[in-house]
Amino acid sequence: MTKDTTGKAHAPNTPTLRVDVDVPALIALAKAEAPRVADASIQLFGYDSLGRLQLTPGTAGPHVMAELAQQSAPATPTRRS
């Protein structure tokens, strides 16, 4: 893959593979599939504070590097009882 969809060549430092995961969408899907079970575990482990996740593997000679970037989700107001 030497060109993008517009026909232009990629920059030399463009990663060959980049995986973007929309964690908030996965959490919303889990809540829709099993609301009671998912909601309890999501709150327990703090998964609702996670934003997008990006994984980019790369190489430099015989070395392999994996860059992992995890964003935080925007803060939401908490309910007080």
Check whether 9 has a pLDDT greater than 80. no
The pTM score is: 0.62
Q: Give bridge partners of residue 58 from the DSSP assignment.
A: 65
AA identity, residue 81: S
Which pLDDT belongs to residue 78? Answer: 62
Tell me if 52 is assigned to some domain.
Answer: yes
Domains in the chain, number: 1
Tell me if 26 is assigned to some domain.
Answer: yes
Instruction: Could you list the beta-strand ranges (E) of the chain.
Output: 19-21, 50-60, 63-72
What's the domain range around 66?
A: 19-71
Tell me if 35 is assigned to some domain.
Answer: yes
Tell me if 30 is assigned to some domain.
Answer: yes
Joined tokens for residue 67: 């860059």
Tell me if 10 is assigned to some domain.
Answer: no
pLDDT band at residue 22 under the 50/70/90 scheme: very high
Tell me if 76 is assigned to some domain.
Answer: no
Tell me if 57 is assigned to some domain.
Answer: yes
